[in-house]
Amino acid sequence: QVQLFESGGGLVQAGGSLRLSCAASGRTFSTRAMGWFRQAPGKERECAASISASGDNTFYADSVKGRFTISRDNAKNTVYLQMNSLKPEDTAIYYCAARQQFNSNPRFNKDEYHYWGQGTQVTVSS
């Protein structure tokens, strides 16, 4: 079992930056690919970024490419999402997600993730 705890959300003006953190429990963090998903009101939950277990491979949704950076520190059991040049359309609840143990490849499909955090609100004002 894995527990995930997000932090770092908040209210920011358009053009600003935020850094989200997700701390994971347990000893298998380094074997799991991780993802950051987001869900805006009335919309489907979508993957913003994902990262392999080693951190060597990262993938981004087209809507955030060049503005968001996903990274991880396996020694600290933590994954990060640095968000720059934020836009009002980035407003959503952001969720951290983990794949099953030894599923090391990143995926965009939310059904490939088995553990979820409680979410953190990001609001970007215009």
- DSSP states of 43-105: S--EEEEEE-SSSS-EEE-TTTTTTEEEEEETTTTEEEEEE-S--GGG-EEEEEEEPPTT--S
Rounded Cα distance between 62 and 48, Å, is 8
Beta bridge partners of 72: 79
Rounded Cα distance between 94 and 90, Å, is 10
Judge whether 116 and 68 are in contact, CB under 8 Å.
no
State pLDDT tens for residues 79-121: 999 999 999 999 999 999 999 989 899 999 999 999 999 999 9
State pLDDT tens for residues 51-74: 999 999 999 999 999 999 999 999
What pLDDT, on the 0 to 100 scale, is given for residue 103?
A: 87
Judge whether 113 and 97 are in contact, CB under 8 Å.
yes
What pLDDT, on the 0 to 100 scale, is given for residue 1?
A: 84
Is residue 38 very low, low, confident or very high in pLDDT (cuts 50, 70, 90)?
A: very high
| Range 1-24 average pLDDT | 97
Judge whether 4 and 117 are in contact, CB under 8 Å.
yes
| Range 27-56 average pLDDT | 97
